[in-house]
Amino acid sequence: MGNRNWTPVAGPLCFFLVLVGVLVGAAFLVPSAAPAALKLPKPPNPKDDFIFACSKVASYSQKEMKRKGESRPLTPWQSYRLKLFFGDHIQGVEFRFNAKLSQFKVNGKVISGPKDIQGRQFGNTVYVKNPQWDRSLGQLSLLAHEMVHILQERQGVFPEKYCRAVWDAKLKYEDIKYEREAYAIQAQFDTFQKSVPDEVMTLHAP
């Protein structure tokens, strides 16, 4: 009597248990979804690292240079000749003479160029190594070169664009495009100065 009562139930129950087992097993066999792509950090970029370091050095150097040298107004002779070429762009520019200048280093690497640095520009300030020399065309030419950098500064060249150009020039000073531009305009300035009549110089410069 017992076997007859349980046999009808055991059949479906066994089938159900087998079905559940098959489904559970199949669940383990189904491959799981692929994990989301990991956002790995970008590999170091030497150029970006250099530009970042160069910009930091430039900002630090500008703060360090603020009190170096002696702030002096241009002589009437210097002011007149620079204004003939640069116009009102010389307004607001500070000139500091007898300034101690050193080579520019980034990550321990020196930007190649003249070892005896005569002038440098930061912001709206021009720093000159030597004392102020009135009626010196040589020093006036140097001031003109740095004035070009002043104009570049006002156009947003410094520090990032200049640092990028330094990298592109492989740290060779003479190949930096903004230096080439400054020297080209400096040459134009020198040529222009030769065309200024002596009587005009005498009239406007004591």
pLDDT digits (tens, 9 = 90+) for 24-65: 554 445 455 555 667 777 777 999 999 999 999 998 888 888
- Residue 110 to residue 29: CA distance in whole angstroms: 63
pLDDT tens per residue across span 72-88:
999 999 999 999 999 99
- Residue 166 to residue 152: CA distance in whole angstroms: 15
How crowded is residue 107: how many other Cβ atoms within 10 Å of its Cβ? 10
- Residue 152 to residue 1: CA distance in whole angstroms: 107
pTM for the full model? 0.76
CA distances from 177 to 126, 167, 169 (A): 20, 11, 8
Task: Specify whether the CB–CB gap between 159 and 59 falls below 8 A.
Answer: yes
Q: Parallel, antiparallel, or unpaired for β 94-97 and 105-106?
A: unpaired
- Residue 19 to residue 5: CA distance in whole angstroms: 23
Nearest 5°: the CA angle 120, 111, 58 is 55
